[in-house]
């Protein structure tokens, strides 16, 4: 047994030395600013960079929030529980929704939207469905997160509440049901994490690529890079018109139900260089 153990250790040591020798002897390896890589490799299509190019700009360092869902260091905080200053009503007037216990409460006064407009974004939203439960189907805890003010990710209380699938919680409303019903009970905080890419348009204003959304509801993947057929509508087949804008605000819907929102932040998606 001792001899076998010794033999094994010797073999591992020899293998380690062999690997180290191979690492230091990699043909073509170059070192730029202390970063090892290669520049004798093929070019990556559409970029000025080689495969494994050490001179390619490093991705920016972002410090994650200290708890899941907390805003990372480069996020634009749209609502932190203290002020609704970032939001206005449909006419550009001050946000009509009241601030209650650090929450925005969807209320009469209509939909609200951010003053700022965005293109491709990552968005985090937390919402709480009302207690006591009132209504059913589309009438229970209905609100919505609208990307570009036009593309809805449905907010609804679908905990023990059925409705048409393309209108349930986290549906791309009227277009695509979620992959799962990940609802928490009403009265509990829930999260949406959304990655949204805007429609791409041709020079003549016609649509080149639709808008897409990837959505996590309470950490569960519910929309996996799904295309929007067009801006959200009710009882018609959504479609794109020519000259669809490519930026817009984030909007929250008032749909006659008192849904609460908190901890809303956004990160414009900056392509890698």
Quote the least distance from Cβ 172 to Mg ion, whole Å: 11
Quote the least distance from Cβ 112 to Mg ion, whole Å: 14
CB 152 within 8 Å of CB 125: no
Q: Please provide residue 112's backbone torsions phi and psi, each rounded to the nearest 5 degrees.
A: -120, 155
144 counts as binding Mg ion under rule CB under 5 A: yes
- DSSP of 83-113: --TTEEETTSPBP-SPEETTEEE--TT--EE
Q: Which stretch binds Mg ion (CB under 5 A): 39-47, 146-154, 194-202, 258-266?
A: 146-154
Decide whether 142 or 263 has the Cβ nearer to Mg ion: 142
178 counts as binding Mg ion under rule CB under 5 A: no
Binding mask 103-142 for Mg ion (x = CB under 5 A): ---------------------------------------x
Report the length, in residues, of the chain. 273
174 counts as binding Mg ion under rule CB under 5 A: no
Q: Which stretch binds Mg ion (CB under 5 A): 121-129, 208-216, 220-228, 253-261?
A: 253-261
139 secondary structure, DSSP code: G
Run of H or E including 14? helix 2-24
CB 29 within 8 Å of CB 38: yes
Decide whether 175 or 253 has the Cβ nearer to Mg ion: 253
Q: Which residue is nearest to Mg ion (CB)?
A: 144
Residues 73-92 that bind Mg ion (CB under 5 A): none
CB burial class (10 A; 0-12, 13-18, 19+) of residue 193?
middle
Can you give the binding site for Mg ion, defined by CB under 5 A? Answer: 142, 144, 154, 253
């Amino acid at each position: 047994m001792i001899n076998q153990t010794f033999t094994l250790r010797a073999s591992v040591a020899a293998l380690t030395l062999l690997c180290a020798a191979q690492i230091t002897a990699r043909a073509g390896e170059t070192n730029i600013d202390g970063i090892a890589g290669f520049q004798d490799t093929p070019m990556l299509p559409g970029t000025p960079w080689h495969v494994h190019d050490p001179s390619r700009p490093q991705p920016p360092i972002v410090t994650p929030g200290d708890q899941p869902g907390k805003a990372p260091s480069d996020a634009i905080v749209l609502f932190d529980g203290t002020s609704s200053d970032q939001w206005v009503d449909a006419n550009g007037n001050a946000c009509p929704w009241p601030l209650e216990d650090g929450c925005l409460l969807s209320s009469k006064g209509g939909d609200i939207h951010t003053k700022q407009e965005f293109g491709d974004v990552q968005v985090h939203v937390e919402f709480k469905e009302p207690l006591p439960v009132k209504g059913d189907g589309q009438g229970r805890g209905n609100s919505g997160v609208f990307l570009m003010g036009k593309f809805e990710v449905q907010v609804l209380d679908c905990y023990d509440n059925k409705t048409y699938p393309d209108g349930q919680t986290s549906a791309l409303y009227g277009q695509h049901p979620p992959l799962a019903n990940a609802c928490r009970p009403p009265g509990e905080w829930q999260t949406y994490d959304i990655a949204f890419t805007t429609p791409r348009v041709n020079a003549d204003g016609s649509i080149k690529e639709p808008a897409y959304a990837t959505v996590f509801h309470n950490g569960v993947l519910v929309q996996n890079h799904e295309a929007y057929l067009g801006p959200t509508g009710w009882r018609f087949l959504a479609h794109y018109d020519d000259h669809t804008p490519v930026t817009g605000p984030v909007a929250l819907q008032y749909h006659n139900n008192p849904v609460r929102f908190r901890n809303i932040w956004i990160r414009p998606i900056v392509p890698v260089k």
